[in-house]
Amino acid sequence: MLIEILQQTINGLAIGGVYVLIALGLTTVFGILGIAHFAHGSVSMSGGYLTYFLVTAQGLPLLAAIPAALAAGFLLGVLVEMLAYRPVRHANHINAFIVALGLTMMVEGINLQLFGHEQVVIPTGLNRVFRLGGITVPELRLYVIIAAILLVVAMMIFVERTKTGQAIRAVAENRDAAILMGVNVKTIPLIVFGMSTALGVAAGIMVGALFAIAPGIGEGLVVKGFAVLILGGLGSFPGAILGGTVLGITESIAAGFISSGYKDVIAFVVMIIVLLIRPQGLLGRAP
Amino acid sequence: MLAVRDLRVSYGGIEVVHGVSLDVAAGECVALIGANGAGKSSTLKAICGLVPASGGSIGFEERDITRASGHAIVRAGITMCPEGRQVFPQMSVIQNLRMGAYTRNDSEQEADLSRMMDMFPILRERQSQAAGKLSGGEQEMLAIARALMARPRICLFDEPSLGLAPKIVASVFETLAHIKAMGMTILLVEQNSMMALNLADRAYLFEAGRIVMEGAAKDLKNHPDVMRAYLGH
């Protein structure tokens, strides 16, 4: 029983890492611009598809394809901010919302045209399985967990320790005061979108390597990402990290002990119960 | 140093500042006084680029900054300590102070940081606390110190006494007097006209979006109209 729980926890950490990376991007964008960036999942999957393309069609080694896809993700994020969201920045919030939905459909459509409707799996060649006591840890899952942790730590260091990171926080906390400090509030959203999308692409690659990328996966992921934000507490970085991990582990345990068909149902039931007890989310501030 | 000419500011098509002209010379402390809604704060906000000027011009050290964006104005040397403090509530006191030095690349930032904390010992005591947890008076001190961290050539203060207890107001003005004595050029907007006129060298009296009187602070303080309307005599 205990072994089984530990086993599912390890499995849950890998998918939890994916949720955390998606949620961190969403929370940063939301904090800076107040935009619910629904296209985030689909844009992230484009990065996953790109990695697949670079590895299979171009024959690039995985370790070269990943940085290329992350860089492409950064640029894509910058473009999304400039072309899609910037024009509606001063308009009613519903406009940005409509743009987000339209962008989701567009990106999904482009993914479909470029990469087809068949699901694709990014070949990694990482097939070893480690055994630790009674727990089996596939090599790939372990690397996914480590990569997710490294990315989260890098992001935290960037936000807490660098001037640009602090400027991002300042804009999120008080935009006018940030201007008075000399922060250029036109370039900050570009950096935020670039960074968030690169993190999303990392999540997309993980999904493509662990499971498969297919049409609709990105949309499902973004719903989970927002669920994580609410679960952890809107606007809270540690909340997004905790929320994503909790959701991943809950799903995994639900799938292992009850039924994988009900894992989403159970995960969302747990989320609703948490929110009934703590409406502000696990680490959110009480209003 | 700062030359505002026929400045107009509108919000949503309604003009609130109707052609204001004022000057601040280097080393001077100038106060803008007048009733609530007279256009003082809007004038300050236009100078530092938070709201666009709908007419007129703003010159700073021979440069036209009328259309410059907010961050460029800070880099030119104008910093504002805004109304209502506007600290970054979830960032620590020390992170707030470091944000004040955002535009600087010199190596003296850490020295300035400890100078600020010498000037405001409470900030040293609370340096790792979230700024939002400080009292109103402490937040005002933080906002002032944060503005000074930019090493501005002119510092704008928007209603520094607003919402503070009388005892705290007195200490805020002592601080401003100290900053003035250090040689800082100051443009101050303040509803507490008596305190402002005691501190300033010169003052402009605002009424309904226009300047109706200007002169040496001590002359304005003794002017019968000002005494009757704003000083409660």
Query: What's the whole-number mean pLDDT along residues B120-143?
Result: 96
Instruction: Please give the pLDDT value at position A267.
Output: 80
Interface-testing mutation among B65, B86, B99, B104, with chain A (most A C-beta atoms within 10 A): B99
Write the DSSP symbol of residue B92. Answer: B
Query: What's the whole-number mean pLDDT along residues A230-250?
Result: 91
Tell me whether residue A211 is in a domain: yes
Tell me whether residue A183 is in a domain: yes
Instruction: Please give the pLDDT value at position A84.
Output: 95
Cβ contact, residue pair B88, A176, below 8 Å:
no
Cβ contact, residue pair A170, B86, below 8 Å:
no
pLDDT band at residue B232, thresholds of 50, 70 and 90? low
| pTM to 2 decimal places | 0.91
* pLDDT tens profile A38-66: 999 999 999 999 999 999 999 999 999 99
State percent of chain B over pLDDT 90: 91
- A177 and B CB contact within 8 Å: yes
Tell me whether residue A79 is in a domain: yes
Interface-testing mutation among B41, B50, B51, B71, with chain A (most A C-beta atoms within 10 A): B71
Cβ contact, residue pair A166, B86, below 8 Å:
no
The per-residue b/e assignment along A117-152, b for 16 or more CB within 10 angstroms, e otherwise, is: eeebebebeeeeeeeeeeeebbebbbebbebbeebb
Mean pLDDT of chain A: 93
Structure tokens at B5: 């000419």
Query: What's the whole-number mean pLDDT along residues A3-10?
Result: 91
Tell me whether residue A249 is in a domain: no
Structure tokens at A114: 């470029």
Cβ(B24)–Cβ(B53) under 8 Å?
no
Cα–Cα dist B145/B62, whole Å:
28
Tell me whether residue A242 is in a domain: no
Cβ contact, residue pair B71, A166, below 8 Å:
no
Which residue from B minimizes the CA distance to A164? B102
State percent of chain A over pLDDT 90: 77
AA letter at A67 = P
Structure tokens at A263: 């894992």
- A50 and B CB contact within 8 Å: no
Cβ contact, residue pair A169, B88, below 8 Å:
yes
In Å, what is the CA distance from B12 to each residue of B16, B17, B51?
10, 13, 11
Which residue from B minimizes the CA distance to A170? B88
Cβ contact, residue pair A173, B98, below 8 Å:
no
Cβ(A232)–Cβ(A16) under 8 Å?
no
Cβ contact, residue pair A184, B69, below 8 Å:
yes
Tell me whether residue A255 is in a domain: no
Which residue is listed with tokens 């030095």?
A: B101
Cβ contact, residue pair A177, B74, below 8 Å:
no
Chain B residues bordering chain A (beta-carbon distance below 8 Å): 48-50, 69-71, 74-75, 79-80, 82, 86-91, 95, 98-100, 102-103, 146-147, 150
Which residue from A minimizes the CA distance to B76? A182
Instruction: Please give the pLDDT value at position A286.
Output: 66
Instruction: Please give the pLDDT value at position B233.
Output: 56
Where in the sequence is the domain holding A14, given as residue range(s)? 2-218
Tell me whether residue A257 is in a domain: no
A vs B, Cβ pairs < 8 A, gives 68
In Å, what is the CA distance from B98 to each residue of A159, B64, B84, B151?
14, 29, 20, 12
Cβ contact, residue pair B102, A182, below 8 Å:
yes
Residues of B in contact with A183 (CB under 8 A): 71, 102
Cβ contact, residue pair B88, A177, below 8 Å:
yes
* pLDDT tens profile B166-210: 999 999 999 999 999 999 999 999 989 999 999 999 999 999 999
Residue B152 burial by Cβ neighbours in a 10 Å radius (0-12, 13-18, 19+) = buried
Cβ contact, residue pair B50, A167, below 8 Å:
no
Interface-testing mutation among A160, A181, A187, A188, with chain B (most B C-beta atoms within 10 A): A181
Is a pLDDT exceeding 90 seen at residue A93?
Answer: no
Number of H helices, E strands in chain B: 10, 10
Q: How many independent structural domains does chain A possess?
A: 1
- A131 and B CB contact within 8 Å: no
* pLDDT tens profile B10-54: 998 999 999 999 999 999 999 999 988 899 999 999 999 999 999
Cβ(A205)–Cβ(A140) under 8 Å?
no
- Selecting from B80, B82, B99 the residue whose C-beta is nearest the C-beta of A170 gives B99
Cβ contact, residue pair B50, A174, below 8 Å:
no
- A162 and B CB contact within 8 Å: no
What's the ipTM?
0.93
Tell me whether residue A234 is in a domain: no
